[in-house]
Amino acid sequence: MSDPAGRVAELRELIDAANHAYYVLDQPTVADSEYDDWMRELEALEGAHPELASDESPTRRVGAAPATRFAPVEHRRQMLSLANARGAEELAAWWRRARSVMEQEGMGSRETTFVVEPKIDGLAISLTYEDGRFTQGATRGDGVTGEDVTANLRTIRAIPARMRLPDGTPPPAVVEVRGEVYLPLAAFAELNATRAAAGLPTFANPRNSAAGSLRQIDPAATAERPLSIWCYGIGYSEGLDLPSHTAALDWLRAAGFRVNPDIRVVGDIEAVHAECVSWEERRGSVDFDIDGAVVKIDDVDVQERLGAVGRAPRWAIAYKFPPTTAVTRLDGIMVSVGRTGALVPFAQLEPVSVGGATVRLATLHNQDDVARKGLMIGDRVIVQRAGDVIPQVVGPLVQERTGDETPFVMPDRCPACDTPVVQPPGEVQMRCPNRSCPAQIQQGLFHFASRGAMDIEGLGEKTIRRFYEEGLLTSFADIYDLPAHRDRLIAMEGFKDVSVDNLLAAIEASKARPWPRLLYGLGIRHVGAVTAEALVAVAPSLDALLAADVETLAQAEGVGPVVAESVREFLSSDANVELLERLRAAGLTVVHDVPAAPADGPLTGRTVVLTGGLEAYSRDDAKRAVTAAGGKVTGSVSKSTSFVVAGVDPGSKLAKAESLGVPVLDEAGLLAVLSGESPPPERAAG
């Protein structure tokens, strides 16, 4: 052949176009035999001319070389989680909350439209395209960091290797396409039938099979499973400015991505609810699992100004369908002990399939929950998967009792250490007060090593239990002494050189986790991941945390006196302070790495509160401007507030500032202070 490069390019274009028509548009344009001929010819040409090989070639969709591990990928823009609504009332409550914030931000007069989409029960992923070419794919992970599954995603024919933009339309420099990888129901049934015939274990549900397929070490194994994708949004982008979610979906379709054709745009919350109900009624008529509908405010400017609470956007919500239920026997009620000493009963069930998953255990929350539901051991009970994920016991079928059932009695001593339990005033939960309780120590270690905290791969519950029983682990700091016991670890049954060295490498890597992650990992009561992020604003280092009093801690956004007291109580223990110093000595990050505020900025040393809508700035931009000028932005007004900036519809913060005598500036006043045209206001003496 005189021009193999030209023929390779031609074949790739023919095959890509056929893939797009078949997998994205569901409109086949060529016969299977002709498609197969093209593929064989392309494989032969690439084999004869290795210099023409490319990751974008359709031949790569049958799988690349197996991976040894999945590298972490930090998302350029966080992949947020959705809050849930069940029914019209909770949906309306979400809209009232969003509307209230819109009014505070000066957007109360805007006409709002909503987008309603099916909530695909699959695996959320992010696809990065650079100059129109697919360069990286990652799982959602914890929303901040996912896993690199690029090679496996390349095997999914519904994902374009190159964007198919109209002629003359340049691709953006960078764009992250967000979507949900899933296994069609028909393909799932066929896959399970094949596995069963081969004597292999079957998958519990399509979501599990999709997740398992996408995380195969060998991409060729992924290629054997007919995964598909629905694309539903855009994350980070450069060179792409779209005014609405609808415009983003239109752009995705035009660029060759698979977008669900049944997405609807509606004009009011009543129509939103009707569309959600419609999806619930027809969930069984589509060839993919859905566990709800997703509702989004269409306007991107409104989305950005509404922002998020924790990791959930204010501008979107998941309308969850009623969970699947089943009936089984309650064989027993056991009690576990958590890291804070809480005694939590859980149900032991006769195995039952609920929503496609086999359930053997279910949560019962606390002893009051057991009493309220009137459960007895031996009952026939209704089980549901709350949110289609966490199994729970709804209640007993009293009419089916035989008289052989027995009541449940909460133990008066800790099942792990035999210490008498207590029930603090005002609390439902019974607790073990023994801080040396083996269960509390082990659960605390597991929390510390978990992905959201120090992310120490290989240090799971079984390993922690083993190391605790061997006397190797009794505190967080002991983890960082494990490298000194390498020979002892290797000598233990079930451990080998490679697994031990991988664990020690993960322990070493955890030393670089940011200060908020360490703070969260300590397991201080009431301090979750979001609260830990807020606390570092007032305690940006270990030394600052140790020196902080309750009033200082309570100034952090969203942190009140109860949380502040809990933190201070933790720090009042000499043993906990000694633990923190051991962690510092081990080399862990105990300082929040943020740019230093200018020493002589116009707002250096000043604390500012923003309230109401601003015209020149978004809320985030205003915060950045104040910080760049040396100031600190907090979420609540107090005696330590230097001044308040009040925009349109300022709300209760303005009234509190006036009652405390805190100076108030309008937006023009803030601009004047930031530009140096006028000094920041001073509080009156007294």
Nearest-CA neighbor of 545 among 513, 511, 579, 508? 579
The pair of structure tokens assigned to 685 is 């003496």
Does residue 119 have an active-site annotation?
Answer: yes
- Dist. CA 287–CA 508, nearest whole Å: 46
Q: Helix (H, G, I), strand (E, B), or coil: what is residue 666? A: coil
Transcribe 110-122 into DSSP letters: ----EEEEEEE-S
Find all residues with CB under 8 Å of 230, minimum gap 6, and list them. 118, 120, 179, 180, 182, 258, 259, 260, 288
Alpha-carbon distance of 192 to 538, in angstroms, equals 54
| Residue carrying the six token digits 């900036």 | 645
Question: Which strands sit side by side in the sheet containing 664-665, from one edge to the other?
Answer: 632-634, 607-611, 643-646, 664-665
Q: How far apart (Å, rounded) are the C-alpha atoms in residues 324 and 385?
A: 6
Is the distance from CB of 411 to CB of 343 less than 8 angstroms?
yes
Local structure of 248: helix, strand or coil: helix
564 contacts 553 by C-beta, under 8 angstroms = yes
Secondary structure of residue 427 in the 3-state scheme: coil
- Given a contact cutoff of 8 angstroms between Cβ atoms, the answer to whether 553 and 543 are in contact is no
Residue in 119, 296, 632, 653 annotated catalytic = 119
Measured between alpha carbons, how far is residue 177 from residues 172, 231, 250, 252, 255 in Å? 12, 7, 13, 8, 11
DSSP for 168-181, please give it.
Answer: T-PPPSEEEEEEEE
Comparing C-alpha atoms, which of 316, 170, 177 is closest to residue 249?
177
Provide the annotated active-site residues.
Answer: 119
